[in-house]
Amino acid sequence: MLPQFNNNSFLETALTHRSALNESISSSKESNERFEFLGDAVLELATTEFLFGKYPTEPEGILTAYRSALVKTTTLAQVAQELNLGQKLYMSKGEEATGGRSNPSLLADTTEAVIGAIYLDQGYQATKNFLDQHLFNKFDQIKQQKLYQDAKSLLQEIVQAKGHEAPVYKVINEEGPDHDKQFTVRVVVDSKPAGEGRGKSKQVAQQAAAQQALKEFGGT
């Protein structure tokens, strides 16, 4: 669950999607984008510190892969889902109608914004405590299932080992202005859809689609 805030306006801003500003749904006068910016930086530092202490003999390359797995969109979206952040978000009816409350990219951004809000409200140690409880506790499973590996590479390795054709990635939807694109990518194996993913770039969406496909092919 979310911690008790000393200044509730921080939490409200963290939960305010920019679409809500035009409809006066939230009392916040700004969206959560600045909080997301701050939370992203705090998250990277805290995650680096956590992994550096947990694995004192691992080389830099492995630690980087571990960190990427912890802070990627699908992991942060899972945190948001467990905290029910999607239902708490202030957003326009239009954004909600297009699936905003369950959009993994949007949920991940909200998690980062909440991290930024906790840091502003209670400081670094409280933020680390929150991450210990809601994010870092997922790492043992990530490591056991090798989710720190590049999802596209892992999917290709698994499907070809099973005698299937190499995965093919197709952009099936592209929306939003140039500075804030959202891509939806479908991965196809043996001419059949195997997974879909969304992200702010084609590369991120491809990784999300591969991660979804890994569930079907036994990679996770």
CB atoms within 10 A of CB 199: 23
Predicted confidence band at 206 (pLDDT cuts at 50, 70, 90)?
A: very high
Examine the residue annotation and report whether 112 is marked as an active-site residue of this protein: yes
163: which DSSP letter?
A: T
44 is catalytic: no
Options 36, 40, 109, 121, the catalytic residue: 40
Residue ranges per structural domain of the chain: 8-144, 151-217
116 pLDDT band (50/70/90 cuts)? very high
- Tell me what pLDDT residue 179 has: 81
Asked if 8-144 and 151-217 have one fold, the answer is no
The pTM of the full predicted model, rounded to 2 decimals, is: 0.73
Q: Over the stretch 34-73, which tens digit does the pLDDT of each residue have?
A: 999 999 999 999 999 999 999 999 988 789 889 989 998 8
Architecture of the CATH domain 151-217: 2-Layer Sandwich (3.30)
218: left (phi over 0), alpha (psi -120 to 50) or beta: left
Q: What is the rounded average pLDDT for all residues in the chain?
A: 93
| pLDDT, tens digit (0-9, with 9 covering 90-100), for 150-201 | 788 888 888 988 899 999 999 999 998 888 889 999 999 999 999 999 988 9
Catalytic residue among 36, 95, 109, 112: 112
Domain 8-144 belongs in CATH node 1.10.1520.10: yes
Give Cα separations from 143 to 29, 67, 75, 89, 190 (angstroms).
41, 11, 13, 31, 29
The residue type found at 155 is L
CA 200 → CA 23, 142, 164, distances in Å? 25, 23, 29
